[in-house]
């Protein structure tokens, strides 16, 4: 997966910068086109000429060293990269990236690139365990950055513990495996529904359920990681999407979700119905708040449209998966649900209570 890739290697100012030389050499030997960006402090540990000789490309340090007037160097590099590797990544670089600071060539490129970024930290064991560093790494992880954890052992400062830059061979192996997994759904379009629906009674009341949407959101994130083009139709939830490449469509009612799913269904290859859609809705929606009454209040309900069954009726090439939540006899109900559907039934039914699946 590394062969013929454009790889930016960011080298920050730590003693482990010497390992980045071997990393540059090995990436180049495996057929990658490597361009190195160093911080000024990194150049105090290793000469830029070393990286230039190993990569056979110019080394970039100064943001304002614009060699080609037709291009803005840091944007050109950011757009050029298929992937970016930060090795070593110091606590300072991690902090700047988490804080959105762009005060040198490397940090500026990092804010501009849309490529996958792999971060290989290297620092003193106590620095690595500092709450600020931990919080910064947690923040970057939530944004979709990928970490290659440091090894444990004897450190240059004399301490023994976690903080050693991983060996170049291991870094390449981790990146290669991750890129390989990410290509699994490459070229596929995935449509996922998530969360509950809300069915209005009056301006202040509605019927809903306890669905959090976490299952559908997790599936969307994973599908995107595997290289799919993902559309997520979400009911009312308090969740945020980490991967900004996911197209999110927010809906409220079962009717809204029905229309959104049918609109996008034909263009997708894989469709996963993980939403908990209301089976019934109030037959009458009151325009004003219903006042408290002295006797009981009866709300007449009507059936909503069955989204899963309706998609099964029209599916052609799509792989269609549906979820069913049951409190008793989940397998039996799951089989019955599959058998009830028409010939265009879902390809897969996942029963939440049983934590299993039924396929036909």
2 within 8 A of 32, measured Cβ to Cβ: yes
Most distant CA pair in the chain, distance: 87
User: Contact at 8 Å (CB) between 188 and 269?
Assistant: yes
In angstroms, what is the C-alpha Rg of the chain? 26
> Measuring CA to CA, which residue among 96, 152, 87 is closest to residue 124?
152
Q: Is the peptide bond before 346 cis (omega within 30 degrees of 0)?
A: no
Q: Is 215 left (phi over 0), alpha (psi -120 to 50) or beta?
A: alpha
284: which 2 tokens? 């009458």
Strand 319-324 and strand 356-359: the pairing is unpaired
CA distance 85 to 40: 18
Please enumerate in sequence order all residues whose Cβ is within 8 A of that of 302, keeping only pairs 6 or more positions apart, or say none.
280, 281, 282, 283
The residue whose two tokens read 């004399």 is: 158
Is 257 in contact with 197 (CB distance < 8 Å)? yes
Q: Residues with catalytic annotation? A: 157
């Amino acid at each position: 997966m590394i062969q013929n890739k454009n790889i930016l290697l960011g080298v920050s100012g730590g003693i482990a910068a010497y390992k980045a030389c071997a990393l540059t050499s090995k990436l180049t030997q495996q057929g990658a086109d490597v361009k190195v960006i160093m911080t000024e402090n990194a150049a105090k540990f290793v000469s830029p000429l070393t990286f230039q000789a190993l990569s056979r490309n110019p080394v970039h340090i100064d943001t304002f060293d614009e060699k080609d007037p037709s291009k803005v160097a840091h944007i050109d590099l950011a757009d050029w990269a298929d992937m970016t590797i930060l090795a070593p990544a110091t606590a300072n670089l991690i902090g700047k990236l988490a804080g959105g600071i762009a005060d040198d060539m490397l940090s500026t490129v990092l804010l501009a690139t849309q490529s996958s970024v792999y971060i290989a930290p290297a620092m003193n064991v106590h620095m690595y365990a500092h709450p600020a560093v931990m919080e910064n790494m947690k923040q970057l992880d939530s944004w979709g950055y990928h970490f290659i954890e440091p090894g444990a052992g004897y450190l240059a400062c004399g301490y023994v513990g976690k903080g050693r830059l991983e060996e170049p061979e291991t870094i390449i192996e981790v990146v290669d495996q991750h890129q390989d997994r990410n290509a699994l759904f490459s070229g596929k379009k995935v449509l996922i529904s998530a969360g509950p629906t809300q069915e209005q009674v009056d301006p202040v009341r509605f019927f809903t359920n306890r669905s959090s949407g976490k299952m559908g959101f997790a599936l969307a994130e994973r599908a995107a990681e595997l290289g799919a083009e993902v559309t997520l139709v979400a009911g009312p939830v308090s969740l945020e999407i980490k991967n900004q490449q996911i197209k999110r469509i927010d809906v409220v009612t079962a009717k809204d979700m029905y229309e959104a799913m049918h609109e996008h269904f034909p263009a997708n290859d894989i469709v996963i119905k993980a939403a908990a859609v209301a089976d019934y809705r109030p037959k009458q929606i009151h325009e004003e708040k219903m006042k408290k009454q002295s006797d009981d209040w009866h709300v007449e309900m009507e059936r909503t449209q069955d989204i899963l069954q309706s998609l099964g009726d029209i599916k052609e090439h799509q792989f269609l998966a549906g979820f069913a939540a049951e409190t008793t006899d989940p397998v039996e109900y799951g089989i019955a649900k599959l058998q009830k559907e028409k010939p265009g039934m879902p390809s897969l039914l996942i029963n939440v209570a049983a934590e299993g699946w039924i396929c036909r």
